[in-house]
A and B are shown apart, each in its own frame.
Chain A
């Protein structure tokens, strides 16, 4: 098979499998914050900032997968 075709397959697989974990993680984080706000609506302002920071950290994991995809596709020859 041509090497460039393999490269495209690798890019697709890398981002496809790479976003599974962060997707599950973001889902769990959102579930947790919605449950805690539903239980105690007055704490929303205090805990939502931690949610945003955590979401930023989780999102970075998906971005690492994207970084690998960029490395495979555009940087590594």
Chain B
């Protein structure tokens, strides 16, 4: 069975290698979010329309996460909403049937794999670094240079461990999201190819001739097996919809925890 992991449609732009497949799904994700956001804020009314009510609920939920960030905590709401909406849309977009693009020979020749933008570690690492920079800057804004005192707490020789924390946090944020989405896609790929690789036309022919006595043509039985086998990844796909939501929520909640840790007064 053909089995590729982590292959991308790589294009050289000004000496940098760019993953075109990730970039295209990234742009589609951004377009979806911008479209719905414009739709929501285009015609604001006191009595909200349906889509405005949805977005108002989202804003309310995430501004309630910023309650423990002090008096100016509400200004951290936009980054939380942006991260959540981007990650959940990016995760869910991977469940669209992108594999049918492989019927186009020009796209198949690029060995690209159109999937969630979040199954490329470059995207999740970029998001995690944004979070790192954001919580350090918001900590410095609140406390000034006194923010960096927390590296020397509780005692001076804990400094290397406190600095290690700033490396481990974005690393786990990036790896958790990336690996969850990638693992889901590998699981779906393996399950979708499992029956097709196990079915043996010769064995089915013998089975139809000897056991069934030639009532059914063996090609029917083979194709029926392929069809039933193609239904195998369906439960995993539903589970992936759930995982997409949970991972977006986990990323956002951890971000809010890091920000409130950085701006908290000790």
Interface on A for B, CB 8 Å cutoff? 52-53, 55-57, 59-60, 63-64, 66-67, 70, 74-75
| Contact partners of B249 in chain A: CB under 8 A | 52-53, 56
B115 CB → nearest A CB, Å = 15
- List 23 interface pairs A-B (beta carbons < 8 Å), by A numbering: A52-B246, A53-B246, A53-B250, A55-B246, A56-B180, A56-B243, A56-B246, A56-B249, A56-B250, A57-B250, A59-B180, A60-B175, A60-B176, A60-B179, A63-B176, A64-B179, A66-B183, A67-B175, A67-B182, A67-B183, A70-B186, A75-B5, A75-B6
| Interface of chain B: mostly helix, strand, loop or mixed | helix
- B6 x A74 contact (CB < 8 A): yes
- B176's nearest neighbour on chain A, judged by CB, is A60
B129 contacts partner chain A, Cβ-Cβ < 8 Å: no
- A66 x B179 contact (CB < 8 A): yes
- B7's nearest neighbour on chain A, judged by CB, is A74
Q: How far is the CA of A53 from the CA of B132 in the complex (A)?
A: 21
Interface centre among B179, B243, B249 (most CB of A within 10 A): B179
Q: How far is the CA of A60 from the CA of B181 in the complex (A)?
A: 10
Work out how many contacts link A and B, with CB atoms closer than 8 A: 42
Interface on B for A, CB 8 Å cutoff? 5-6, 172, 175-176, 179-180, 182-183, 186, 243, 246-247, 249-250, 253
- A50's nearest neighbour on chain B, judged by CB, is B253
User: What 13 additional pairs, Cβ within 8 angstroms, besides A52-B249, A55-B246, A64-B175?
Assistant: A52-B246, A53-B253, A56-B247, A56-B249, A57-B250, A59-B180, A60-B175, A63-B179, A63-B183, A64-B179, A66-B183, A70-B186, A74-B5
Which residue in A63, A70, A75 is a CB contact (below 8 Å) of B180? A63
| Contact partners of B176 in chain A: CB under 8 A | 57, 60, 63
Q: How far is the CA of A60 from the CA of B124 in the complex (A)?
A: 15
| Contact partners of B179 in chain A: CB under 8 A | 60, 63-64, 66-67
| Contact partners of A63 in chain B: CB under 8 A | 176, 179-180, 183
- B177's nearest neighbour on chain A, judged by CB, is A60
A23 CB → nearest B CB, Å = 16
| Contact partners of B250 in chain A: CB under 8 A | 53, 56-57, 60
| Contact partners of A67 in chain B: CB under 8 A | 175, 179, 182-183
| Contact partners of B247 in chain A: CB under 8 A | 56
A74 CB → nearest B CB, Å = 5
Q: How far is the CA of A57 from the CA of B180 in the complex (A)?
A: 10
- B180 x A60 contact (CB < 8 A): yes
Q: How far is the CA of A59 from the CA of B5 in the complex (A)?
A: 21
B141 CB → nearest A CB, Å = 28
| Contact partners of A74 in chain B: CB under 8 A | 5-6
